[in-house]
Structure 1
Amino acid sequence: MELTTVWFVLIAALFTGYFILEGFDFGVGALLPAIGRDDRERRALLGTIGPVWDGNEVWVITAGGAMFAAFPAWYATLFSALYLPLLLILVALILRGVAFEYRGMRDDPRWRARWDAAIVFGSTAPAFLWGVAFANLTRGLPLTPDGDYAGGPADLLHPYALLGGLVTLTLFVTHGAVFLALKTMGELRARALRTAARVGPVALTALAAFAVWTLTVRSSPAAVATAAAAALTLVAALAANRAHREGWAFLGTALTIGLLVVTLFATLFPHVLPSTLGAGGLTVDNAASSPYTLRLMTWVAAIFTPLVLLYQGWTYWVFRKRVSVGDAGY
């Protein structure tokens, strides 16, 4: 396998890990006022993601760094074209991180309410905007023959992109609700199960529509298979949630998100950024770094990736127990 293909697959794997792990973070933040009825309950909800949310964000930083090093032309064009949504995502993530740290610094209901609103915004906005960004990546952008972006911010907000945003938002909320059911007890767990049962069918409908639309625009046998598998795993997750088997439900929503990301990357290959102007776009070959750079990156990744995975797995194992109202939190 060519190193350009290897690094395309690795970047897809990094984004897959990011959306699975950060997806339930976003879902928990978006559901904070819906499931947490008072400050004690909201502290418990935030306690479920407190030890892991910042580690989950490392995945997208690594994915961006890998794009920059392995496919600099892809990185430059994509970040130029999607500058506004990516900037909004960055601002929302900064605001959310600050809110996690600041909400408990004063014993004032209004103070905490403001930071809770910041957490909701900082979770909901990226959950929607990532879908918009990846829908544009899959559909393609207006690129010149030199690979420069020839559109404007309004060109990113077409119906297909907005549907992509709805898919990621509803999927992440469902994923977060199932995670809360897995990590809490008593009434919080019951509310989380009910929330997943309500939002899940909306996510399934949006996912099915988005998958069909995607495959009519750009398709491959692998993409068809993974899109069908994504829908089936979400159906299985909702069935497990109804049976109060939240562990299996969480596995199902995680697989759904992962298979959706794989579907999008499968529709792209061998392109990394198609052009809607018929100019050819960027491929894994014409957007890649030199062979020497890719070989060096491969050795570095082979050494350090297992260490990072072991560390993050250890973190989840240490903080695997359920959280109850009254536990120390945010």
Structure 2
Amino acid sequence: METAWLALLGLLLAGYFVLGGYDYGAQMLHPFLGDTRAERGSGRETGRSPALEAIAPFFLGNEVWLVAFAGVLFGAFPHLEGSLLPGLYPLIVAILAGLVLGNAAVQLRGRARGARGRRCWDALIVFGGALPALCWGCVLGLLLHGVPRRPDGTFHIGPGDVLTPFVLACGVTTALLFAAHGAAFVALRSAPELAAVARRRGAGLLRAAAAMGALPLLLTLFGAGAAMTNRMTSAVLAVLLAAALAGAWWWLTRGHHVRAFTATCCATALPVLLVGAGHYPYVLISPAGTGLTLGEAVTDDATLKILSVFGVVVIPVILAYQTWSWWAFRGRTGRRHPRYF
């Protein structure tokens, strides 16, 4: 049961990276993917954004996965939450601030009275996508690198542990990956002429993500990067991540939008699997190789049984809602598509 709950925790975070990741990416790219400012033949400015229209039907709904992840973390793994979150408060606050600012800016952009007002909201939209993406990457990099452990067994995270070349490189790589994931999603959802622009942006971002991702790998090979418990498993997952990036670039440049988006989905989910499977049976590890095991982090069996009753009901509802929303809003956006913002 402990392993099943750890797998569920990873599934929820990976699901959020996949679904929330293209939200972040579309926000970061929306000023650079074109803006249909005038209705054809009328000259009347509309301020429509192809990137925002692509994510509009799913916007805010994807945060359900983050809420579910937080609920499982607090309920099933209280010792992990108590060891990890106090040191991550600056990153968590930055993530939440980016979410609030980005969500508000996306919804208020359509109420701007002129181009200057839209530009201000556009800057907040980009910031609200880039900041959480960067911070989530730093969290992953910190978990991969390891969290310093005090002599009394507690873990401590300071600014010096976050502001390292490995952690910052992971943050930038994740931000670039999310941006490419957003470009693939916009290409999948947009009209052909806009999809072509998104393909070009996404292909360039995938190359940049692969180049930046080589830095954490090199640091790991030279002993200054990730401290992995299961090295063979980690190597296999790293190869799969590289293959997903290469496949996404190949299919995106050739206009295979569904395949490209599937590949970027795999690429955004694999880092979560790398943390969980690469450190198992530890859920939190120190650079020295010791850490908090799954048995030490999980709550008691009685609580897990109670939570399982809720999980059996809640998780299928989340999956059903997500499936329904994708089916209901399938198809490409366009000039006659309903405007949500």
Pair in the same fold by TM > 0.5: yes
Q: Cα distance, 1:302 vs. partner?
A: 1.6
Aligned equivalent of 1:202, options 199, 208, 211: 208
Contact 1:224/1:263 (8 A) holds in 2: no
Any residues of structure 2 matched to 1:219-234 within 5 Å, and which? 219-234=230-245
- Normalised by the size of structure 1, how large is the TM-score? 0.93
TM (norm. structure 2) is: 0.90
Q: How big is the shift at 1:38?
A: 5.2
Other-structure match for 1:157: 163
Give the corresponding residue for 1:250.
261
Runs of 5+ unmatched residues, structure 1: none
Which segment drifts farther, 86-95 or 111-120? 111-120
Maintained 8 Å contact 1:208/1:231: no
Give the direction of change, closer, same or farther, for the CA distance of 1:139–1:238 in structure 2 (3 Å limit).
same
- Does the 8 Å CA contact 2:150/2:156 hold for their aligned counterparts? yes
Q: Is the 8 A contact 1:30 1:123 kept in 2?
A: yes
Aligned 1:48-197 pairs, distance under 5 A: 48-197=54-203
Instruction: Give, in angstroms, the shift of residue 212 of structure 1.
Output: 5.7
Instruction: Indicate the residue corresponding to 1:8 in structure 2.
Output: 6
Structure 2 match to 1:324: 334
Kindly report the root-mean-square deviation, in angstroms, between the aligned alpha carbons of the 2 structures: 1.9
Deviation at 1:291, TM superposition (A): 0.8
Deviation (angstroms), 1:160: 0.8
Q: Report the equivalent of 2:292.
A: 282
**Correspondent of 1:302 among 308, 312, 322:** 312
Distance of aligned partners of 1:127 and 1:111 in 2 relative to their CA distance in 1, 3 Å threshold: same
Equivalent pairs counted in the alignment come to 327
1:268 to 261, 279, 295: 279
| 1:81/1:121 CA distance change after superposition, 3 Å | same
Structure 2 CA distance for partners of 1:276 and 1:260, relative to 1, 3 Å:
closer
Q: CA deviation at 1:213?
A: 4.5
- The percentage of counterpart residues that share the same residue type is 35
Q: Which has the higher contact order (CA 8 A, sep 6+)?
A: 1
> Contact 1:31–1:177 at 8 Å: present in 2 too?
yes
SS in 2 for 1:143: coil
- CA offset at residue 245 of structure 1? 0.7
Structure 1 residues 91 and 187, CA, compared in 2 at 3 Å: closer, same or farther?
same
Q: Is the 8 A contact 1:173 1:199 kept in 2?
A: yes
Alignment partner of 2:57: what SS?
Answer: coil
Deviation string, structure 1 residues 2-34 (Cα, Å, up to 9, x no partner): x22111111111111010111111110000111
Q: Is the 8 A contact 1:181 1:189 kept in 2?
A: yes
Distance 1:52 1:233, change over 3 A: same
Residue 243 of structure 2 aligns with an amino acid whose one-letter code is L
Mapped to 2, the partners of 1:202 and 1:4 lie a distance apart of: 38
